Every structure is written in structure tokens, then in C-alpha cells.
Chains A and B, each alone.
Chain A
Amino acid sequence: MKKVSLKSMVSTLPSWMSGDWNDDGDIVVGSEVCMYRNLSGEKFPHMQSPEERKRVLGHVMSRASGIMDSGAVRLDSLSYYEKLFLYERRVIDSVVDNCNTFSCASVASGNTSMSINEDDHVKIKSFFPGNGIDSALSATFEAERDMDMDFAINGDRYATVEMSMHGSGIIASTILHLPATHMTGGSVLSALKLSSFPKMHSMCLFSSEEKSSNMIIVGFMSPTIRDIPSHVSKLNSMVDSLVDIEMSRREIMKNEYADIPCRAWGLLTNARTLSSSEACRAISYCVAGVGRVIEAGIDGNKLKKSLLAAMDGHMAMTTDKRDDKWLDEQRAKIVSESLFLKTGRGMMP
């Protein structure tokens, strides 16, 4: 399988950014499904000898190359920033992983990627823009079917490294962008209204927040495959209610917290240095304010480009310099340029 050049990925827009960010489409950023599978009769990666890991890697890679045409990258040969770049692109789940000591690889094609010998022998991951959890599930199951491998099953459950994943071996989640909920002081966790999802043991609903970018991930782990459709419908209803909450909070923001997106806009367009978290948070607030308190005319693509420039891994991949201060100055310059409007930078009266 051909090797992927990460430098060539820098200029392309990641799939989850291809969604429409105009109007209210920025709230539901993307939908992700991860499927964990292990080969029958083989120890899990963390218990294998180097020879066993190499053999499994070669075996799975040969199958993966038949279904994914874009190419592969060996994760154990990557630097921290290269892994960070892949993490930002949603190809891998963690920058700090076992790949420093284990032989593992990642292959990607379209909206689907595959990690081999990370924690489990095979992790198939599909990421679709917007509320596309059904498409992500279909793509994941299709990739599993195409691999046509003998995966380890205990009864009707798939055997996985993590005991909590034993069952369907699937995590499905939706990533939401909720800046107005944050800026108006509402806790996203309280917005989840957990009481309306009482069967949490069977559904294993979870959520986590990335505060600098005002993102929240809500999802489920299903013990059985047959329960997945009902869980998806519960998740979708939860996503709908969160979108409603965010929309109502944006109206509150317009009346009572208008200076927050305006300050964020000022920071983005005038700051001499910008850290990644500062830039992400400010862009996020601007998104909620565009058309409400910030002058209309900024299209979603400009914000997408500035968001890419705000990310640490992306910035590091554009240069060989690793000087933090220099990167912060460059970031401020690029973000400011990408947001600059010919019509001016004024606020709404």
C-alpha cells in the first residue's frame, strides 16, 4: 500500500469541514462511528510479542489495502506534531497512544479510516459531516463486511480490549458546536437533561466537552448490535434538543451578551499573537455572532480556513519551525488575513 504524505493533506479540507456552515449548520459539526474488532485466536496487541504484532499488522494491512485506496501511514514513525495533525483531522483518537512502542498503522479513504494494531487489532472509523450518524454506521459496517476477516466473538458479542466495549464493539457519537450555550453561562452538561435518558446502563450514553473550541461530544456504546437503531433515534432526539437549546441561547446572546462575540472578533483581527486555544474559542464565539451582532457577509469558508489555521498540529505541519512564539505570531497573522473583509470589519450598530 502506498504511503501517505501528511504534507499533501495540509492543503485539503478535512471531510468534517465540508459541511455547510452557513445559517445554523455549524451546530452539528459531524457524526462519528468507531468499530473495534480483534482477530480470532490472536492475543490483543498489548499482550503480543513484536513478532506477533508485525504478523497481525501485515495480515490486516493486506486486507485493508484491498478496500481502501488512498494509502497508509505508520503511526509509530510519526512525531508528536504529525500525530496531532492526524488527531485534528479525526483520523486517530489520541495523540498519546500505544503507537510509540507498537507497530500500528492508519489507512484512510473518503470518510472512513482504519487504525491497525492500536489498542485493538482493527478500528474502523467513519466520520461524516453534519448529522450523518446513519451514513457513518453504514460505511463502517460496509468496511467491516469488505474486510471479510474472522473476528473474535464470544457468544453474540465481539471481544474487545476494553471490557466496557465488549458487545457490539461500537461507539457512535455526534460532535456539537455550542458557543452560545457556553457564553451565556449555561453548562452543556445540564443542557443535556440527563433525566430524559434513564436507560443509561444499556445505552451507555456519554458526553465530553472540549472547552477551548466549545465543542461537545455526545454518543453511546451499545451492548448489542440489534439495539443500535433505537439508540441512534435516542441520540438524534438528544441532538435535536441540544440544537434547540443552542438556538434559543443565541437569541439570549444577541440581547444580553453581544459584546462577547464582538470582543472575540476584535481579538482575531487585531491580536499580534494568538495561541491555539484563544483562536479556537474566539472563532467559535464569532460563528455564533455572525449575522446577529457581527456584520453579515462573512461566509462559512472563511471561518473554516481560520479555524484550520488556529489548530496547533495544522500550523506545525505548514513549517519546520517549532518555536511557540513564532507560531503564535504566524497564527495571528493568518487568521487575521483569512477573516479580513473588503467591506470593512465593523460591528453591527
Chain B
Amino acid sequence: MTPRMLDKKCIFCDRDASNRFVVNGSSSHVCDKCIKGRSTIDRIHGVFSRLEPEEDFLIDDGSTYPEKCSNCGTSLHVMVQTMRCGCPQCYVVYGNIYDEIDKATSCVESNPDEMTGLKIQLEQAIREERYEDANDIKKMMESMK
């Protein structure tokens, strides 16, 4: 089971998008402005908060992901927003969404270079609420531009 995104324009702003990223053979589009302005995690959350699972996330056979895990009741949206599963069955029900999205968004980056490393560090710092570190990393990124 893998997610497929159907929107053809930029999934964040509906403008014409020149960047394509692929999730298991199906493509989705993002414009340059949105790529620069969003971190990977933000993009992951952004994708899922914009799209309704029933309409936009199709499994290979054309059916949709279930709204909730039948075992623990964790919904797809809650799971993606918190990045936490409720039970081992969630991984079976929703497939490996985290990996697919992580792969998809990493495809956007043209070359995984120093800047990529810093971006990942920045995301990590913000997620862990280490804002002083995040500020240091941001300064380093700005000095490299």
C-alpha cells in the first residue's frame, strides 16, 4: 500500500509548478517558491493537512486508506501530524507512509550537499524546541548563501 497524490498543480499554492516529485511512480508538483520556503517536515505536514485521505490518498488498487486504524482507532491525520502510531497494526494499515513521504520530499533536493545537512539539522532543532541551536544553524545557512 503506497500513497498516490493526484493534484497536478503546486500542492501548496495552486500555482504552476515546475518541480515534480514522485511517490512510488505517481507524481506531484511543487513550485519553486514553496520548495524554498518550506522545510522537509513542514512539507510532509503540509501535504497531509491539505489533502483529504478519502479523496487524495489512493492505494495501488484504487481504494483509499481507511479513516482510522481498526485496532487502536488512530486516524491517518493524527498519525501524520504527530508522527506517532497507536499500535503495530497502524504500520500495516497505512503502509510505510513516513518513508514514502520522506523519500518523496528528499527527491525535491537536487544535490544533497552541506545545505541539505544544515536543513535537516534545523528541522531537528525546531522539532526538539532547541531554538538557540536553530538560530545558529540558520545563521550558518544564511552565511553560505
Contacts and interface: CB of A to CB of B under 8 A. Distances in A.
Contact of B136 (A154, A187, A194, A199): A187
Contacts of A209: 130, 133
A80 to B, nearest CB: 19
Contacts of A46: 84, 86
A304 B103 CA distance: 45
Nearest to B113: A195
A43 B86 contact: yes
B116 A200 contact: yes
Interface residues of A, number: 35
Contacts, number: 90
Interface in B68-126: 71-74, 79, 83-88, 90-92, 96-99, 102, 106, 112-114, 116-118, 120-121, 124-125
Main secondary structure of the interface of B (DSSP, over half): helix
B61 interface: no
A160 B87 CA distance: 8
Interface stretch (A69-77, A82-90, A161-169, A270-278): A161-169
Contact of B114 (A161, A187, A195, A199): A195
B132 interface: yes
Interface residues of B, number: 37
B22 interface: no
B128 interface: yes
A70 to B, nearest CB: 30
Nearest to A119: B84
Nearest to A167: B99
A198 B113 contact: yes
Contact of B130 (A152, A154, A208): A208
Given A201-B102, A208-B133, A161 B117 contact: no
A164 B112 CA distance: 20
A154 B88 contact: yes
B72 A47 contact: yes
B71 A43 contact: yes
B88 A38 contact: yes
Interface string B38-81: 00000000000000000000000000000000011110000100
A169 to B, nearest CB: 12
Interface string A179-218: 0000000010110001101111100001111010000000
B17 interface: no
Given A44-B87, A47-B72, A163 B98 contact: yes
A159 interface: yes
A200 B87 contact: no
11 contacts: A163-B79, A163-B85, A163-B97, A164-B98, A166-B91, A189-B133, A194-B118, A198-B112, A201-B120, A206-B121, A209-B130
Interface of A: 38, 40-44, 46-47, 152-154, 157, 159-164, 166, 187, 189-190, 194-195, 197-201, 206-209, 211, 223
Given A44-B85, A166-B96, 20 more contacts: A38-B88, A40-B88, A44-B86, A46-B86, A47-B74, A154-B91, A154-B92, A157-B91, A159-B87, A162-B83, A162-B84, A163-B85, A166-B85, A166-B98, A189-B121, A198-B113, A198-B117, A201-B106, A208-B130, A208-B133
Interface of B: 71-74, 79, 83-88, 90-92, 96-99, 102, 106, 112-114, 116-118, 120-121, 124-125, 128, 130, 132-133, 136-137, 140
Smallest CB-CB A-B distances: 7 pairs: A194-B117, A152-B88, A195-B114, A159-B88, A154-B91, A163-B98, A47-B86
